[in-house]
Structure 1
């Protein structure tokens, strides 16, 4: 197996880190590698905020629901969808300011996510551990104020990076046959696919070496979306200049 596939297939979210720092030159190399990700029309609509101040990290960890690894990771980056440079280009070329189109929001968000995934993979290829922090969207307004984010920028998620001090069990993903549809989407498979995967995930949760529990995928997934709606997000995005049209 080639090393890229091996790294992808062995991904684990790491939340425990040693005290070892990440060399600044290595971090910059990882970010450069991440920039090799595809970008919609090459607009590169993303920015990173490197947060080192302990007080700021503590506040973000609290806002994210008490995720202490935000404080303990060697590096904590906030991944932002950023249309400020794109808007300047538009004005410079005589095409006016951006108007909050949903298409531009999607393009910037996808750009940021692709770059961030590339960054995580690059970090893992160097032996680092990482975990994304979607919890910063619990209160994106406060995160925006803490980081002085301007209009046309919003925090999509955070990223903890550090040298692993734990090796969690590998979670089984949905089988390829479940997510791969041929020619047309086959909705009739949904119930059987989820029920079978629930059994697999329940066995995983009960057998792993630490943090065992009685649960399954549908229970976790339903709670993740129905108990975490973050209904404040649309008005926040509007206030930052996104998704108005």
Structure 2
């Protein structure tokens, strides 16, 4: 079995396409084998490497060349600690050698319109959507480039759950909002390759078809549980939903999604320049 085929089997385990006949490719292998890292050594990446990673991130695709992503590196120890204190269950926010925040920046295009005497109303749904995607693409590009240099990363999307407090700490102006944080450093422990949903329900041809969802999810739950089961003491909201005899990925995610997250994010956005018209 080729390295690519082995990587596909480990990532999906879904008895799907094995990429037989495809040429081996180092980048594709790295993507298939990538993992989240939450434990880091004390070794600090060089400033030259961090500058290069930032440049690579900002070279990602951008909607209409508007370039509505900004990257904030958080070096101030007090600010870093303040953000870490908001999420005590995630000590790696404070412990990682480097912490970036990727920002959706709808403000810059708005200001450029003012500078050129052509008013731009960029607080629309389209403006928010474009800036969010630009920031996400920039972050993913940094992730892949960082990992190719032996670094490990952990995206922190939970910062949107406290968007108003995070924005205050970072002194963000109107029309600039946090999309996600990113912990970065040299790994001190190996992360695990997270099993992804079967491709039969996440890839479609010519039309969307989820008729096999129930059976596929049940199969996925069982296979994932055999690899890295969720401990009983980590079941969510047992007081509300009861303890599950079998607690698979879908039960965990259904419970998580049933408890609304990010309640402060929409009010924060509306208060800071977005009308979503």
**Considering the TM-score relative to the shorter chain, is it more than 0.5?**
yes
Structure showing greater Rg: 2
Deviation at 1:239, TM superposition (A): 1.1
CA distance in 1, matches of 2:43, 2:82: 23
The correspondence for 2:106, drawn from 71, 77, 83, is: 83
The one-character-per-residue Cα deviations of 1:40-60 (angstroms, maximum 9, x if unpaired) are: 001110111111222211211
The residue aligned with 2:6 is none
Q: Secondary structure at the match of 2:103?
A: strand
Deviation at 1:22, TM superposition (A): 1.0
The one-character-per-residue Cα deviations of 1:209-230 (angstroms, maximum 9, x if unpaired) are: xx99974220232233222422
Deviation at 1:65, TM superposition (A): 4.2
The residue aligned with 2:179 is 156
* Worse-matched range after superposition: 91-100 or 181-190: 91-100
Could you tell me the TM-score, scaled by structure 1's length?
Answer: 0.92
Superposed counterparts of 1:2-17, under 5 Å = 2-17=25-40
Kept after mapping to 2: 8 A contact 1:201/1:215: no
Deviation at 1:64, TM superposition (A): 2.8
Kept after mapping to 1: 8 A contact 2:99/2:181: yes
Superposed counterparts of 1:24-43, under 5 Å = 24-43=47-66
Kept after mapping to 2: 8 A contact 1:31/1:119: yes
Kept after mapping to 1: 8 A contact 2:110/2:122: no
Kept after mapping to 2: 8 A contact 1:205/1:215: no
Kept after mapping to 1: 8 A contact 2:151/2:187: yes
Alignment partner of 1:201 is 2:233: no
* Worse-matched range after superposition: 164-173 or 95-104: 95-104
Superposed counterparts of 1:49-88, under 5 Å = 49-88=72-111
The one-character-per-residue Cα deviations of 1:194-239 (angstroms, maximum 9, x if unpaired) are: 11111111112249xxx99974220232233222422222111111
CA distance in 2, matches of 1:147, 1:206: 37
Superposed counterparts of 1:75-224, under 5 Å = 75-98=98-121, 100-206=123-229, 215-224=247-256
Could you tell me the TM-score, scaled by structure 2's length?
Answer: 0.82
Q: Secondary structure at the match of 1:22?
A: coil
Q: Name stretches of at least 5 consecutive residues in structure 2 with no aligned partner.
A: 1-23, 236-245
Aligned-residue RMSD, C-alpha:
2.1
